[in-house]
């Protein structure tokens, strides 16, 4: 699961630098604005993970389509063939 501690979301988004995509619509986990919200999410991380499963998958497909867990093995195989 991914939990976002976004206590400074408005400042970051509106004043500091912004985002390259609609973070609030596409974040693959909850945006916790307060420490209490973050603690609550951590206490029930299994439920939070299940709740955001589809958004996590959509995020992974959009931004990390080649991350399949086998990159290191492919790199070692390539090195050993040299």
Give the CATH number of the domain where residue 26 resides: 3.40.50.12580
**Model confidence pTM above 0.85:** no
Task: Kindly give the confidence (pLDDT) of every residue in the chain, 82 residues in length, as a single tens digit, with 9 standing for 90 and above.
Answer: 899 999 999 999 999 999 999 999 999 999 999 999 999 999 999 999 999 999 999 999 999 998 888 989 999 999 999 8
Confidence (pLDDT) at 29: 96
Work out how many domains the chain is built from and give that number: 1
Q: Are 26 and 58 in contact (CB under 8 A)?
A: yes
Looking at residue 1, its pLDDT comes to 86
CA-CA distance, 77 to 71, in Å (whole number)? 10
The whole domain housing 20 covers 4-81
């Amino acid at each position: 699961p991914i939990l976002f501690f976004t206590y400074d979301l408005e400042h970051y988004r509106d004043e500091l630098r912004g985002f390259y995509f609609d973070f609030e619509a596409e974040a693959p986990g909850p945006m916790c604005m307060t420490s209490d919200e973050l603690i609550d999410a951590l206490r029930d991380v299994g439920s939070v993970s299940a709740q955001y499963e589809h958004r996590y998958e959509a995020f992974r497909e959009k931004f990390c389509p080649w991350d399949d867990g086998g990159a290191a093995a492919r790199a070692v195989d390539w090195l050993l063939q040299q």
